[in-house]
Amino acid sequence: MEKRIGFIGVGLMGYGPARLLLEAGYPLTLLGHRNRAPVDDLVGRGAQEAETAAELTRNVDVVITCVSSSAIMEKLVHGDDGIAAGAREGQVLVDMTTADPQSTRALAATLAEWGMRMIDAPMTRTPREAREGRLNLLLGGEAADIDALEPLLEVFSENRFRTGPLGSAHTTKLVNNALSLGHAALAAEAAVTCKAAGVDPQVLYDIVTAGGADSKMFRMVMPAAIEDRVDGLEFTLGNARKDYGYYLQCARDAGCVPMTTQAVHQLFEVATAQGNGDEYVPYLYRMLNGWHSQSS
């Protein structure tokens, strides 16, 4: 018998994995989402809907969470009708959130009191790969728990990387995001500088993509300068700010001095303070270009 799956968070990144699990024959129960469209679609395909996280947890073997922050995860676990209230011996929580590893370890300790185990499984790649079943998953936790879930995880991921004990996957994801989002911020600033200095950003694109400074993030940001399109990277500035905040705390906890990433974080802080938190990361080009126009 296939494991019964409870899925919390069927938004931009969660919808694809939930649909693919359902199509693979896994009995699926959802928790309602503020955007009803993906919930209604999945229910129409045969999923069940629970009213609370506790109700969902009571009726499944594996709970998968894909939400936007550790603060939301903490409410989901600790609330009166939360995951802990429905947990039982032998269940596993798979957290695909990009989260604070200290919070992750604390939540695992709470769930362990009820016999529920936890792995952290943050994703890389974009909503497109999520819909296509080609995510990268970073996996932290007990090897036996991950082994038991491999058939399930294979349904919606192309690559799976084991990072070590619980919390290590969230740590690694934060470092990964610091690198990738930092390059996105540099690309946006570089494109603005070229334009302000009278160099066509297309020339910059041609040169960089032929050399060592090339990256997928550069290619996803540059359409903002070349084609006035900011949809090349479906990741919001608000989420970038959140992830960078988690990364900075993680770096400080490890005794590091995050000088470069602190500057990038300040840029994301300003972007969200100006009301751009729901814009995608390539919007940085428009914002920085606007600052140049105002100062000219």
Parse the chain into domains and list their residue ranges. 5-165, 171-295
Residue ranges of the alpha helices (H) in the chain?
A: 15-23, 36-44, 53-58, 70-78, 83-86, 101-112, 127-132, 143-154, 168-196, 201-208, 216-221, 223-226, 237-253, 259-273, 283-295
pTM greater than the 0.85 cutoff: yes
DSSP 294: H
227: confidence class by pLDDT, cuts 50, 70, 90: very high
Calculate mean pLDDT across residues 90-107.
Answer: 97
Q: What is the CATH number of domain 5-165?
A: 3.40.50.720
Judge whether residue 96 has pLDDT over 70: yes
Burial class (CB in 10 A: 0-12, 13-18, 19+), 55: middle
Active site residue 173: yes
- One of 173, 195, 216, 242 is an active-site residue; which one? 173
Residue 1: predicted pLDDT: 57
CATH topology of domain 171-295: N-(1-d-carboxylethyl)-l-norvaline Dehydrogenase; domain 2 (1.10.1040)
